Every structure is written in structure tokens, then in C-alpha cells.
Chain A
């Protein structure tokens, strides 16, 4: 198989797809474009060990630099693709080049949603997606004073934990009546609210931000209630939006991100998409999903890479995710949206428990807190019907017996 394959995006999905393509026997040219001036690196440590200064930058790299030379992957960092011409099968770049492709992968990710309120453009208002963002936040952790965090999703809560660890005062503003409202059930929300408050976080639920004030830098966050909170810096974590502008301009089908089928193929047979930017059909959940997680990026990219090399793989991996805050590891399997029954197993007060989400008796998802045994077994149980809630809640039940 020859021809040139182009990958737009040098992140988790882009790097994996390039590797998977080679592993599947593709030996033609591979060119990978990345807007950031960094080789492919992992993002999870950016809100944790890397921000805290405990991990050197080179340990973030997904593959050593010589991997790309060795695999004959032409890595063009700091170069953006400005347009896709589907008819001509070419891409145009920010360097003024035009390159033709045999197959194309869109792996452009999902940058953070930006606030547009008054004062949102003040210096000191931060977002967190890139290594540069994390580098900009690190000095704030040791500068003392208060940081206001807008949004109690995973980004907001992980940064809150890192900030508290560094001794910073932290106020978290969450519009909803509980934290992690989009992704977790009430038991998990309550656990994390208690956890953060126990670590001294000033957590405000049902609190809406109105605007920021400051001379040259942000100095005050003003809530819709009128309350004023003095701060040295702000971190905004209010969600991410898939980067679909290239796909849209090229008239590819868009549906909560770049639309793909179960083979990671877009509405154009020569173009694939993977990772945060792409939606895919889920057999397990019988609906279209777009997942923002490392495992999704990896698994979908493996399928895209293999299929760009001529195979016919199907993306149907069980979704999973993890979050580290303080001494607590949350491991999540599946997607809990739509659950009509939740079973708690273990001891929330002892910080070791799991919540099992069912819908009409069918296991949708499991959130495991410091409970890797539940996490590990639940990967095999997602989708199972007829799970006995009583047996599940009983600490004497051996989970492995549920898998038989």
C-alpha cells in the first residue's frame, strides 16, 4: 500500500493512528501536522503532576522523538492545516504548502470553551488544555493568594486539588447544584464535594459567574448574586468544544463533532476522524457518542489507523476514564447518562467504594473510587442485563461471580 496519508492533529489520537497505520503494514508516506509547537504528548498530567512541577516535560512525550524518524513519520509541529479540498484530495497549510493525500485523518481535538463575559480577556484568566497553559499556571500555584476556578468538572476539580496541595486558597464556582453533574451520579458528586471541602476548598454550588474586574489583571470575580470574590488568578473549566471548522468548511457531516461511522470513517470515504473531535455510533449505548478521554482517543485512532491501512476494524471498545484528585483515584467505566437505578457498594466514608449505574436492569457504567477491583471487573460487565442489585450492594458478594 502506498500513497500519502495525512494526519491533522499531533495529539493522542494522531500519534496513535500513525503508529497503528505502520503496524497494519502501511509503508507509504505519513505526514502529521500539529498546531502546537510540541511533539505528541499526554495531557492528563497537565492538571496533576506536571502542573505541580513533579514531572519533567520530556516525560510527557507519547513517543520519543526518534520514533517518528524511525517510523518514517514526517512530523510537522507548529504547522496548521488551513483547508481541506476534498475534490482535489489536498490540504493547504499555514506555511502556504498544498499536499495531496490518499487518505486523511482529522484528529484536531477539542479546545476549551471560552467565557465571553466582561473581563474574560483580562490577564490572569486561564484555561487548561496545552502544556503552555500548564506552564502558565504553575507559578500561580506558588504565588499565594486565591484562585477562582469556574466550573466543577474534572479539569476544575483536578486543578483545585493541585492548587490546594500547593497551599493556594481556592474558590470553585459551579452553576449546577452539584459537582461533576454532567458525568456522574449524586453519590459521586456528594463524595467529591465533601472531599474538596475537607481539603479546604471554598466550593460554591448553584453559583453563577457574572463578570471579572481588574485594572490590568483579573482582581475580582463577581457573581450574579452580586457577591465579589477577590482573586489573584482564574482558571476556567467549563467544557470543551470539538474542533470541527476544517471539517465543516469541507462540507463533511457534523454531528456533535465530526461524524464518523463505526470504522472511524467520515462522510467522505477517504477521510477518517478520531479522538475528542469526533462522534461515533455506540452499539453498547445505541446512540451517537463523543467522548473526551484518552482511552477513546487511543482506541478510535487504532481503528482509524488500521482502516486507513486497508483493514476493516470496528470501534466498539467499552469507554473508560480516570481522574486523580488528592489521594483519591476515580476510575470510570461506561457512560452513566440515562441510569434509572444506582447501587452503591463499599464505604464512601472510608473513601473506597463504587457506584453501579443501571438502566432497566442493564449495567450502563461504574464509577470506582479507590476501588480498582470494581473498575477492572466492570469492564467485562458493561451491557449485562439481569444484574442483581442486592447481590451487588452486599459487600460479601465476590464481584468475579457476577462475571460468570
Chain B
């Protein structure tokens, strides 16, 4: 199973085994990684599953589509490498993915 590393704002690291087909958000919630709220359950209707994708992975993860981009505008401290983790599907190619969590969600 692909491994994903979530790095909290305070530096704590969580390495999680995530099954393919679920989202990076779901993998975090399933493994009780703190700092991802996922208020709307992954419906791309809020911005509380916001993550910063490690630059080394930006290419493989890709850019957000229009709907997600608009929601990201209003996430806490959005950056160039921001994504809503509910919109990133876990794939074999993402084995080793590293994401950082913002200080706050929403």
C-alpha cells in the first residue's frame, strides 16, 4: 500500500499506509492524523482538508481543477502548492507522498 507522510504544523510526522482509491483526506481521517477536519466529508464543499503538497511531489499530484481552486482561495493561508486533500486520490505513483498541514483549517 502506498505510504503517505503528513507533517503537522508543529513538526510532528505521521506516516500512514493508504489503500489506493481513497483520498489523501480519507487516509488521514482513517489513521487519526490530527489537523485535517474534512467538515463536508470530501464533497469539495469546504476547505478544511487543506494541505501543502511537498514540492518534490507537485508534478505527480497535479494541479486543482476549477471547483477546487475556488474553494482553496478561502482556505487558511493558501499557497502555490495548496490542494484540498479530499480531491487527491491515492495511487501507486503517490507512494512516498509528503504533505504538510496548515496551522489551522477553515
Contacts and interface: CB of A to CB of B under 8 A. Distances in A.
A291 B39 CA distance: 16
Interface stretch (B5-13, B55-63, B66-74, B88-96): B66-74
Interface in B22-62: 22, 26, 29-32, 39-41, 43-47
B67 A329 contact: yes
B47 to A, nearest CB: 8
A295 B43 contact: no
A62 B22 CA distance: 14
B74 A379 contact: yes
B74 A322 contact: no
A331 B45 contact: yes
B30 A64 contact: yes
Given A64-B32, A67-B32, A70-B32, A372 B70 contact: yes
Interface residues of A, number: 25
A174 interface: no
A322 B71 contact: no
Given A322-B45, A376-B71, A59 B40 contact: no
B73 A376 contact: yes
B70 A376 contact: yes
A294 B32 contact: no
A45 B26 CA distance: 14
B70 A59 contact: no
A294 B67 contact: no
Contacts of B73: 373, 376
If over half of B's interface residues share one DSSP class (helix, strand or loop), that class is named, otherwise mixed; here it is: loop
Contact of A59 (B22, B32, B43): B22
A116 interface: no
Interface in A23-77: 42, 44-45, 59, 62-64, 66-67, 70
Given A329-B67, A372-B70, A376-B74, A64 B31 contact: yes
Nearest to B37: A298
Interface residues of B, number: 20
A59 B39 contact: no
A104 B50 CA distance: 33
A158 interface: no
B69 to A, nearest CB: 8
A219 interface: no
Nearest to B32: A67
B41 A45 contact: yes
A356 B40 CA distance: 23
A324 interface: yes
A48 to B, nearest CB: 9
B32 A322 contact: no
Contacts of A322: 40, 43, 45
Contacts, number: 49
Contacts of B71: 372, 376
Interface centre among A62, A295, A376, A379 (most CB of B within 10 A): A376
B74 A294 contact: no
Nearest to A41: B41
Contact of A64 (B29, B39, B44, B47): B29
Contacts of B39: 294-295, 298
Interface centre among B30, B32, B45 (most CB of A within 10 A): B45
A59 B67 contact: no
Nearest to B23: A59
A62 B30 CA distance: 9
Nearest to B66: A372
B87 to A, nearest CB: 12
Contacts of A324: 43
A67 B74 CA distance: 29
A365 to B, nearest CB: 16
Contacts of B45: 320, 322, 329, 331
B29 A63 contact: yes
A403 to B, nearest CB: 10
B41 A372 contact: no
A59 B26 contact: yes
Contacts of B32: 63-64, 66-67, 70
23 contacts: A44-B41, A44-B43, A63-B32, A64-B29, A64-B31, A64-B32, A67-B32, A70-B32, A294-B41, A295-B40, A320-B45, A324-B43, A329-B44, A329-B67, A331-B45, A372-B67, A375-B70, A376-B47, A376-B70, A376-B71, A376-B73, A376-B74, A377-B74
Interface of A: 42, 44-45, 59, 62-64, 66-67, 70, 294-295, 298, 320, 322, 324, 329, 331, 370, 372-373, 375-377, 379
> Ordered nearest first, which 8 A-B pairs have the shortest CB separation?
A372-B70, A322-B45, A376-B74, A373-B70, A42-B41, A64-B30, A372-B67, A372-B71
Interface of B: 22, 26, 29-32, 39-41, 43-47, 66-67, 70-71, 73-74
